[in-house]
Structure 1
C-alpha cells in the first residue's frame, strides 16, 4: 500500500497559489504549467486539481479530464515549439521514478535527433519559462 497523499507537496502548494508557476492552461479540474527542470524547451506538467499521490490511487473520475487536458496541451506544445513529436510520461512511486507525489503527466516536445536533457539538470530561468508559457498559451488560443 502506498503512503497517504501529502497535502504539502509542491504541486498542492502550486494549486493553492503558495508557490508561483508558469501556467499554460487551467480549467475546473486540471492545471498545466511548465516544469522548472525541463528536459526540453516547453516541457509541461499536467495535474489534476483533486488530490491523489499518483495514478494508482487516483479517483477514476479524475482521469478522463486529466487525459483530455494532456491531449489538448500536447497539441499546443507540439505546435508552439514546431516539434516533430511529443513524449508523454507518467511515473508512480519512487521505484517507478516518481519524485513529486501528486499525480502528474509530463508533456515534452521532441525534435528528431535531439536528446532530452537530464531532469535534475538545474532550474530553468523564470523569464524563459514565462516566455515559453506564453508561446503555449498562444497555441492553445489558436487551436
Structure 2
C-alpha cells in the first residue's frame, strides 16, 4: 500500500481539502481534537522531520506561512497550535511529514 497521505494528495482517498499549491496540501482532520483541526502535508514524500535537510528550508517556511494564512481565514486571532510528531515515540502515526494545526478553543499545556 502506498503512503496514506500520498494517496490523499493524489486523490485516491477523498479528503476535505482547504488549501493546495505546488508544494503542500492541507485538509481537515477526520478525528478533530479542536473545533478547528487541519493538517498541512508537503507533496514531497518525506518520512519525518528527521529526514529534513538544508534543501527543505523554504518548504518548512512555506508550511508555516500557509498555516498562518489559513488560521487567519478561520478566525483564529486568539491563537492556535502547530504540532509535528516525529517518529513512533513522538506520536507519529503516518510516516509522511505533516503538521497539525489546532485552534478554536483554549489549548492546555502539556498536551499529554
Bigger helix fraction: 1
Measure, in 1, the Cα distance between the counterparts of 2:9 and 2:73.
Answer: 26
Aligned to 2:78: 84
| CA distance in 1 between partners of 2:69 and 2:99 (Å) | 14
Task: Give SS of 2:94's match.
Answer: coil
The answer for unaligned runs of 5 or more in structure 2 is none
Shift of 1:55: 0.8
Closer, same or farther in 2 for the Cα pair 1:20/1:99, shift >3 Å?
same
- 1:64 alignment partner in structure 2: 58
Aligned equivalents of 1:67, 1:35: Cα separation in 2: 22
Deviation at 1:110, TM superposition (A): 4.3
Q: Check the 8 A contact 1:46/1:70 in 2, yes or no.
A: no
Larger Rg: 1
| 1:20 equivalent in alignment to 2:14 | yes
Query: Which consecutive unaligned segments of at least 5 residues does structure 1 have?
Result: 1-6, 116-143
CA distance in 2, matches of 1:82, 1:54: 27
Aligned length in residues? 110
TM-score, normalized by length of structure 1? 0.66
Q: 1:78 touches 1:85 (CA, 8 Å); kept in 2?
A: no
Runs of 4 or more above 6 Å deviation: none
Matched, 1:48 2:42: yes
- Quote how far apart the aligned CAs of 1:58 are: 3.1
